[in-house]
Amino acid sequence: MKFQSILQSRYGGIVIFSFIFLTISFLVRSILLITDIQNVDLNLVRFIQIYAFGLFYDLVAISYFIIPFVFYLLVVPDKIFNSTTHRWISYIFFIISIGILVFSGIGEWFFWEEFSVRYNFIAVDYLVYTHEVISNIQESYPMPIIIMGMLLLSATIFALVKKHFDKVINSKSKFTSRLTTSLILWALPLIAFLSINKSSAEISENTYSNELAHNGIYQIFSAFRNNELDYKSFYQSIDDKKAFTNLRKLITTPNSKFISDDIFDVRRKITYAGEDKKYNVMMITVESLSGSFFTRFGRLDNITPNLDTIAQQSLFFTNFYATGTRTVRGMEALALSLPPTPGYSIVKRPNNEGMFTFGNVLKSKGYETNFIYAGNGYFDNMNYFFGNSGYNIVDKKDFKEEEITFENAWGVCDEDLFAKASQVADKAYKKGKPFHNFIMTTSNHRPYTYPEGKIDIPSHTGRKGAVKYTDYAIAKFLREAKKHAWFKNTIFVIVADHCASSAGKTSLPVEKYHIPLLIYAPEIIEPKEINTLASQIDFAPTILGLLNMDYTSKFFGKDILLDEPNRALIGTYQKIGLLRDGKLTVQLPTKRTESYLLVDKEQKANQLDNNELKDAITYYQTASYLFHHKGFNFSD
């Protein structure tokens, strides 16, 4: 069948749609390339690879997209298909389809602007949590102008192809020929589903190049499909007994003793000399607080003046790393002391109830434990996870109207959040109970709005202002806390959930995981700078060490002040890494491994070290095993 006859057949609409899809995808890819051209390892070969692989993934995305349309074209008889009513219905649906493509293309630019990646797990979340996301978009961007532009562009595209589309509507066909064509078109996405994954477009060690070689709509399909990756199916592995034998060596500390000879049982008795200290633990987990914001790490525009001062009065951990790039990853590591297993964070997975959390340990010691969130805690499954793993829930619904002075799409401002945390602490103190408040802020998040007149940067002008407002709010909170009876007996922790940006030229750009950890307790702890390499999984054991608390542990982390970890575990939802001794070992979901040497903040390709690989495999394989075998439940 000649191309002209195909274009004028019943399936010609799919051909027209495909050309529009490919054109928009080409333009989006080109715009994104120009936007970050300085970060792409661009040469002639790479340029060809980006567009060749990109075209391939565009075609795969089209094959998924047209599945329902193919079914419709198969079953509708000519009498209906050629009718005037159907013509107008087809116009409407075709315009809507074009609108989806245009909207997706515009959305990808904004998504790339914030995350420097094509659509991924975050985009899936944005489709699920529509209230927060739509409100955030409305507050962040001039939506009426964008929508008008999108509608005008969609209408223009339709006007250009309408005469060809009319010929499609007037075409005649037989069911048998339609069935053959439909089966061929359905076979394409089936083959793609069974044989292709995101890693197939790993054309370079440069993350920007790999992302550009993808298609955003395809990656949404992929993210829905791969919300959890079975470790052994996708990554290099070793015998489970060997992995757990090695794990025992990696997590053993001078004050720990394994309870059982069962190699799969990671429980250890942790002991400290003397009595437990019943200090309260007030943890402020700050949204997107990169280490690079601090003057101590080279920042020159003074956007954290209060935190810079507080750091000098605290235990200040200068070589501390987040495990991931999402809030739920940070929460997971801080609460569970587990490496970032591939796929969604455990906070969002099914069967995550009753886990061995920092909160459950403290609760078993008589503490009142609270998760306090500025927004609606159903977002990212936070309320369910914390509520079923040792924490009481306090979120936006628990704020009285008079307690909210300012709010945006993500929740109340930091000042209001901290005022509520003090209120919760007062109630626990009156009961005579020690408390732990896990506080999660939201102000340092797009649309970057906060109360006016608090700092010298106007609200809604960008990240710098949001960071400086959070800095202001934390300082105000600590000043106010000094007026409360529980202050002298309270350890304040200030830590980030993740960095403000995760984009980099390599698979896992180490500098994009560097975050601050401050432990402030002027009546309890002497200020000191700690330069030991550690990560969020070491938070819980370190705080329990400061509490001088004996406990049974399943944590993977270590007390940084007792037994220096000298390693960090970092990852995305697919790539997982071990950072140690200036080397980064990265595992990819194709049973492939990369190794880098860190030199002056640059990551240079390095020869793989088998010992490093063995330990990297051990951490992630055993963590995955324990979660799936209920080996990390608190009740065990």
Q: How confident is the model over 225-245, as a mean pLDDT?
A: 85
What integer pLDDT is reported at residue 100 of this predicted model?
A: 87
DSSP string, 496-511: ESS-S----SSSS-GG
pLDDT at 198: 55
* Residues in contact with 242: Cβ distance below 8 Å, sequence separation at least 6, in sequence order: none
**What letter represents residue 235's amino acid?**
Y
> ω into residue 509 within 30 of 0, thus cis?
no
Q: What angle do CA 563, 569, 575 make, to 5 degrees?
A: 170
Q: What are phi and psi of 314, to 5 degrees?
A: -130, 170
DSSP code of 555?
-
Residue 516: its H or E element: strand 514-520
CA–CA separation, 43 vs 49, rounded Å?
Answer: 10
pLDDT at 320: 98
Indicate the pLDDT class of residue 7, thresholds 50, 70 and 90. Answer: confident
Least confident of 1-10, 380-389, 506-515: 1-10
The amino acid present at 260, given as its one-letter code, is S
In which band, very low, low, confident or very high, does the pLDDT at 130 lie, cut at 50, 70 and 90? low
Residue 356 has pLDDT above 70, yes or no: yes
**In the predicted structure, residue 585 carries a pLDDT above the cut 90:** yes
Q: At 126, is the pLDDT very low, low, confident or very high (cuts 50, 70, 90)?
A: low
pLDDT of 201 above 80: no
Whole-number Å distance between alpha carbons of 591 and 487: 50
* Predicted local distance difference test score (pLDDT) of residue 125: 59
Q: Go through 51-61 and write b for each residue having 16 or more CB atoms within 10 A of its CB, e for each that does not.
A: bebbbbbbbbb
In angstroms, the CA 366 to CA 432 distance is: 10
**Average pLDDT for 134-149:** 74
Torsion of CA 238, 244, 250, 252, to 10 degrees: -170
> Which spans in 196-326 are helix H?
207-212, 216-225, 231-234, 240-251, 305-312
Tokens 């799919």, residue located:
14
pLDDT at residue 115, as a whole number: 65
Is the model's pLDDT at 624 over the cut of 70?
A: yes
For 35-69, how does the pLDDT look when each residue is reduced to its tens digit (9 = 90+)?
Answer: 989 989 889 999 999 999 999 999 999 999 899 99
525 confidence band (pLDDT: 50, 70, 90): very high
**From CA 270, how far away is CA 479, in angstroms rounded?**
35
Residue whose pair of structure tokens reads 């102000």 in the numeric block: 443
Tell which residue, 516, 492, 560, 519, has the closest CA to residue 337.
Answer: 560
User: Which pLDDT belongs to residue 138?
Assistant: 67
Residue 134 pLDDT > 70, yes or no?
no
- Mean pLDDT of the 265-271 span: 98
Rounded CA separation 209/202 (Å) = 8
Mean pLDDT value of segment 449-469: 96
The H or E element spanning position 86 is helix 84-115
Question: What is the Cα–Cα distance from 251 to 527, expressed in whole angstroms?
Answer: 27
Which residue, 197, 228, 335, 247, is CA-closest to 621? 247
According to the model, what pLDDT value does residue 106 have?
A: 85
pLDDT band, residue 227 (cuts 50/70/90) = low
Nearest to 109 by CA among 28, 10, 210, 196: 28
pLDDT for position 373: 97
CB of 536 closer than 8 Å to CB of 579: no
Q: How far apart are CA 439 and CA 445, in angstroms?
A: 16
pLDDT of residue 195: 81
Nearest to 74 by CA among 169, 155, 180, 164: 180
Q: DSSP character for 205? A: S
Q: How confident is the model at residue 2 (pLDDT cuts 50, 70, 90)?
A: low
Q: What CA–CA distance (Å, rounded) separates 415 from 443?
A: 10
**For residue 263, what pLDDT band results from cuts at 50, 70 and 90?**
very high
Mean pLDDT of the chain: 91
- pLDDT (tens digit, 9 = 90+) per residue, 314-349? 999 999 999 999 999 999 999 999 999 988 899 999
Q: Which two structure tokens, joined as six digits, stand for 223?
A: 């993210």
% the chain with pLDDT above 90: 72
Band (602; pLDDT cuts 50, 70, 90): confident
Give me 45's structure tokens. 């070969």
The per-residue pLDDT for 161 is 92
DSSP tag of 228: B
CATH architecture of the domain 255-566 equals 3-Layer(aba) Sandwich (3.40)
The conformation of residue 513, written as its DSSP 8-state character, comes to G
Residue 154 dihedral angles phi and psi, to the nearest 5°: -65, -45
Report the alpha-carbon distance of residue 331 to residue 23 in Å, rounded.
41
Cα→Cα distances 412→42, 193, 409, 443, 444, Å? 44, 42, 9, 8, 12
Please give the pLDDT value at position 110: 79
Q: What is the pLDDT of residue 15?
A: 93
| Mean pLDDT in residue range 585-596 | 90
Predicted confidence at residue 119, as pLDDT, reads 77
Query: In the predicted model, is pLDDT for residue 133 greater than 60?
Result: no
Q: Indicate left, alpha or beta for 228 from its phi (over 0: left) and psi (-120 to 50: alpha).
A: beta
CA 244 to chain CA centroid, Å, is 28
| pLDDT confidence band for 193 (50 / 70 / 90) | confident
The full set of domain ranges for the chain reads 3-225, 255-566
Q: Return the pLDDT at 335.
A: 98
Going from the C-alpha of 416 to that of each of 23, 429, 465, the distances in angstroms are 48, 20, 18
369 contacts 389 by C-beta, under 8 angstroms: no
